[in-house]
Amino acid sequence: MKTCYVLRGLPGSGKTTWAETKADEFKRQGHTVSILSADIWRQNSDGVLVYDRTKLKSGHMNCLSHFIETVRMGAIPIVIVDNCNIWTWEYTHYLRIAEVYGYELAIMELTPPVKTCLERNIHHYPENEVRRLEATWDGVPLCFSQCVYPVDVPTEVSDGVVV
């Protein structure tokens, strides 16, 4: 069965860690997996993620374009969209497109306390931006409510390591 996982969470909530961990697990089971993220278009020449609000739109457009091509081809059975997806309009197009191409849907919500997100925010989002995102978080539309799965994530950070 083809499955599209759409991750939702603040920067530092554990989305990328979840995506990489699950992708490794699926690969060990013999599945092909694609992780798509706008983050790769925000890396500097050293591969470090840099928060630059002016690059957010183009990063998300590139991610969506790659997503459409991936699900249209249908050769990759497990697709993980690793973006914040704070607002409904940011992720519903992924869900609708995945449905058109026969993918089962799973919305994975990672919602640790904001304090935890700020402590492990490797994406260098400013604190005021993370708090703004939290304050404007959209609920999932009723038509997709059966696809929502809360994810328990570790909330303790010790010397920069999640425990």
Q: At 1, is the secondary structure helix, strand, or coil?
A: coil
The mean pLDDT value for 134-156 works out to: 84
Does the residue 17 lie in any domain? yes
Per residue in 76-127, pLDDT (tens digit) is 999 999 999 999 999 999 999 999 999 999 999 999 999 999 998 877 788 9
Does the residue 157 lie in any domain? no
Flag whether pLDDT at 134 surpasses 50: yes
The mean pLDDT value for 9-31 works out to: 94
Q: At what angle do helices 56-73 and 88-100 cross, to 10 degrees?
A: 20
In the chain, the number of structural domains is: 1
The per-residue pLDDT for 136 is: 95
Residue 99, burial from CB neighbour count under 10 angstroms (0-12, 13-18, 19+):
middle
Does the residue 8 lie in any domain? yes
Does the residue 117 lie in any domain? yes
Give the residue among 7, 9, 8, 12 at the shortest CA–CA distance from 126: 12
Does the residue 160 lie in any domain? no
Q: DSSP for 15-67?
A: HHHHHHHHHHHHHHTT--EEEE-GGGGGB-TTS-B---GGGHHHHHHHHHHHH
Cβ-contact 30, 77 below 8 angstroms = no
Predicted model pTM: 0.86
Q: What range defines the domain where residue 41 resides?
A: 3-152
Does the residue 94 lie in any domain? yes
Per residue in 38-59, pLDDT (tens digit) is 876 666 667 666 666 666 676 7
Mean pLDDT for the chain overall: 86
CATH of the domain at 72: 3.40.50.300
The per-residue pLDDT for 44 is: 64
